[in-house]
Amino acid sequence: MEKVKFNNGKLTVLQISDAQDMHWVRKTMLIMIENACERVKPDLIVFTGDNVLGNHLCDYRFTDRKKNLTENEEYEILKKALKHIIDIPERRNIPFSAIFGNHDDWNSVTKEKHADIFRQSSMNRGLENRNGLCGTYCLPIYSSDGENRVMNFWMLDTAGYDKKRDACYEKITEEQVDWFKKESDKLKNENGGKPYPSLVFMHIPFKQITELYEECDKNNSQLEAEGRYYRLKPCSSGKLGELSSVLTDDSGMYNAIIEDSGVKGIVSGHDHRNCFTGEYDGMKFIATPCASFRCYGNETRGVRVFEIDEKSPEKFKTYTLSYTDLCGNGVISKLRYLRDADEMEKVKHTVIAFSAAIATGVSIVSAATVLRKY
């Protein structure tokens, strides 16, 4: 597997979270991602989970009914669904890495077989299976000349589907924490006792992310939820679009990350409408909105970019690009959004009904005019 390296002292990373689509993909998302690649020209793409809508692989296209598929048939559908997003970095020769989300293996396909689909790509740089921890790994980032490790991307699996109990889980296991501690200590020793500057990528956020916002009165709020009002604290900036859905148990991983002291930022997805950054506990938390059009979202729907300098990787910069940023605000762009965005379903049906009513009215008037002639 080829190394991920800085490019002339710079590294640009494109994060795509919650692509969450099917094998009959909504193409507006693909257009948006293609435009992002063209604009940003990333050195690495990171898919941070819910890469497919895994629990609907057996759905019929236009109904809620399920097909009775074998595991192999379901695997082939999963492969077709993932191909839509994997094809983009492959065509452009952009390395990528990926982790899992709560929707990915909510089906009969194992995580290992799921990971193999990514591994079959020559552009894959992740999803190594170390000590049976499929989806949890460390991605080293090397200097421009490829000689020295400069930083780490810690990739954490935070969710999955227990096929025996038919239940989803949203947690980090003790085995993952033990692995992280051992790997962190090993890398520190290799680096003369000093940790490498690092970022953590995960799908479901730690509960500490909720420290970035607070309850407030209605007049000063950014979000209403369950009859209460919330806003981001002064230590944060961006869009609070929903209350964070956090891990049920991190088994001590957050504390292990703080103790590592090399981690400078924790990046998550999962909460489709959240698009903010902030600091708590000396740590930078980064919430990235969804890319999916098949699932709920808002005007922040898009991608996140990281710009990192080889000489000072701990001082990374990050920002998001929304659908409008990437596709414009013209008529065609608006129509694509109306056609594909999940939250626009009611508006779309209203427009269709209104258009049909106008068309019907025009037809009736035309018919009446013709009849009057006779």
Q: pLDDT (tens digit, 9 = 90+) per residue, 286-339?
A: 999 999 999 999 999 999 999 999 999 999 999 999 999 999 999 999 999 999
Same domain flag for 290 and 355? no
> Rg for the chain (alpha carbons), in Å?
23
What count of Cα atoms within 13 Å lies in the side-chain half-sphere of residue 338? 13
Same domain flag for 247 and 369? no
Same domain flag for 254 and 351? no
pLDDT for 133: 86
Percent of the chain whose pLDDT exceeds 90: 82
Residue 221 CA to residue 228 CA, distance in Å, equals 9
Residue written as token pair 């490790």: 149
**Band (164; pLDDT cuts 50, 70, 90):** confident
End-to-end CA distance of the chain: 80
Same domain flag for 319 and 286? yes
Same domain flag for 278 and 350? no
pLDDT for 351: 63
Same domain flag for 116 and 257? yes
Count of structural domains, the chain? 2
Cα dihedral sign, 41-45-49-50: positive
- Phi/psi for 99 (5° steps) reads -130, 175
Same domain flag for 31 and 83? yes
Same domain flag for 203 and 292? yes
- pLDDT tens for 192-223 read 999 999 999 999 999 999 999 999 999 999 99
| Contact status, residue 139 vs residue 125, Cβ threshold 8 Å | yes
Task: Supply the pTM of this predicted model.
Answer: 0.92
Tell me the CATH number at 235.
3.60.21.10
Same domain flag for 327 and 356? no
Which residue in 20, 122, 13, 32 sits closest to 81, CA to CA? 20
Check whether 40 has a pLDDT greater than 60. yes
Same domain flag for 266 and 354? no
pLDDT for 350: 61
User: Which CA distances in Å does 317 have to 39, 176, 208, 320?
Assistant: 17, 28, 21, 11
Tokens of 306: 């990281």
Same domain flag for 109 and 46? yes
- pLDDT tens for 132-146 read 788 999 999 999 999
Same domain flag for 210 and 242? yes
Domain that holds residue 365: 341-374
Residue 101 CA to residue 99 CA, distance in Å, equals 7
